[in-house]
Amino acid sequence: MSNRRTFAIISHPDAGKTTLTEKLLLQGGAIHLAGEVKARGAARRARSDWMKIEQQRGISVTSSVMTFEKANPDGSVITFNLLDTPGHEDFSEDTYRTLTAVDSAIMVIDAAKGIEPQTRKLFEVCRLRSVPIITFVNKVDREGRSVFETLDEVADALALDVVPMSWPIGMGGEFRGVLDFATDTISRPEGDSREFLGLREPPADIPAEIAEEIELAQAGYGEFDPVAYRHGDMTPVYFGSALKNFGVAELIDAIAKYAPPPRPQPSEQGTIEPSGKEVTGFIFKVQANMDPQHRDRIAFMRLVSGTFKRGMKLTPSALGKPVAIHSPILFFAQDRAIADTAEPGDIVGIPNHGTLRVGDTLSESNKVRFTGLPNFAPEILRRVALKDPTKTKQLRKALDDLSEEGVIQVFYPEIGGQWIVGVVGQLQLDVLISRLEAEYKVEAVLEAAPFDTARWLKGPDAALKQFADFNKSNLAKDRDGDPVFMARSAWDVSYQQEKNPDLVFSATKER
Ligand code: G4P
Q: Has residue 265 been placed in a domain?
A: no
> Average pLDDT, stretch 194-209?
72
In a domain, 315, yes or no: yes
pLDDT tens column, 19-39: 888 888 777 765 544 444 443
pLDDT by residue (tens digit) across 433-444?
Answer: 888 888 889 999
Q: How far apart are CA 270 and CA 131, in angstroms?
A: 20
Q: Rounded to an integer, what is the distance from CA 43 to the centroid of its chain?
A: 29
pLDDT at 384: 95
Same domain for 190 and 147, yes or no, is yes
Q: Which domain holds residue 478?
A: 374-510
Least confident range from 279-283, 294-298, 401-405: namely 294-298
Pocket probe for ligand 1: among 12, 18, 19, the residue whose CB has the most ligand atoms within 8 Å is 19
Cα(109) to ligand 1 centroid in Å equals 12
Ligand 1 close to Cβ of residue 119 (< 6 A): no
pLDDT band at 419 (very low <50, low <70, confident <90, very high): very high
Could you tell me if residue 264 is inside a domain?
no
Q: Is the pLDDT of residue 256 over 90?
A: yes
In eight-state DSSP terms, residue 3 is: T
Decide: 139 in ligand 1 pocket, CB within 6 A: yes
Nearest CA to ligand 1 atom 10: 14
Answer yes or no: do 379 and 359 share one domain. no
Pocket residue to mutate for ligand 1, from 26, 166, 243, most atoms within 8 A of Cβ: 243
Query: Over the Cα atoms of the chain, what is R_g?
Result: 26
State phi, psi for 190 to the nearest 5 degrees: -55, 130
* Same domain flag for 431 and 314: no
CATH code where residue 158 lies: 3.40.50.300
287 with 359, same domain? yes
Determine the pLDDT at residue 393. 92
90-121 burial, b if ≥16 CB within 10 A, otherwise e? ebbbbbbbbbbbbbbbbbbbbbebbbbebbeb
Number of structural domains found in the chain: 3
Strand partners, 305: 280
Least confident segment among 46-55, 224-233, 336-345, 409-418: 46-55
Would you say residue 241 lies in a domain? yes
For ligand 1, whether the C-beta of 12 sits within 6 Å is no
pLDDT of residue 437: 87
- In this structure, which residue's CA is closest to atom 4 in ligand 1? 14
Give tens-digit pLDDT for 84-125.
776 544 344 567 678 889 999 999 999 988 887 767 767 776
Is the Cα dihedral 250, 253, 255, 257 positive or negative? negative
* pLDDT value for 212: 92
Look up residue 467 and give its DSSP letter. H
Q: What are 132-190's pLDDT values in tens digits?
A: 999 999 999 998 889 999 999 999 888 889 999 999 998 888 888 899 998 888 876 66
So what's the pLDDT on residue 504?
93
Separation in Å, CA 500 to CA 364, 459, 464, 466, 467: 35, 10, 10, 10, 8
Per the model's pLDDT, the better-predicted residue between 273 and 95 turns out to be 273
pLDDT of residue 443: 94
Ligand 1 atom closest to the CA of 138, numbered from 1: 23
Q: How far is the CA of 239 from the centre of ligand 1 (A)?
A: 16
pLDDT value at residue 407 = 63
pLDDT in tens, 376-397: 344 689 999 999 889 999 999 8
User: How many whole angstroms from 259 Cα to the centroid of ligand 1?
Assistant: 26
Same domain, 184 and 55: yes
pLDDT at 106: 95
Cβ proximity of 150 and 114 under 8 Å: yes
To the nearest whole number, what is the mean pLDDT of the chain?
81
On whether residue 268 sits in a domain, the answer given is no
Give the pLDDT mean for 241-250: 90
Is 293 found in the same domain as 220? no
Strands 329-331 and 336-338: antiparallel
Residues 359 and 382 in one domain: no
Instruction: Please report the pLDDT score of residue 432 as a whole number.
Output: 83
Same domain, 249 and 129: yes
Q: Cα of 481 to ligand 1 centre, how many Å? A: 51
Distance 345 CA to ligand 1 centre (A): 30
> For ligand 1, is residue 367 a contact (CB within 6 Å)?
no
382 and 302 fall within a common domain:
no
In a domain, 270, yes or no: no
Residue 2 lies in a domain: no
Q: Are residues 187 and 323 in the same domain?
A: no
Determine the distance separating the centroid of ligand 1 and the alpha carbon of 242, expressed in angstroms: 8
> Measured in angstroms, how far is the CA atom of residue 9 from the centroid of ligand 1?
15
**How much distance in Å is there from the Cα of 198 to the middle of ligand 1?**
22
Percent of the chain with pLDDT over 70: 78
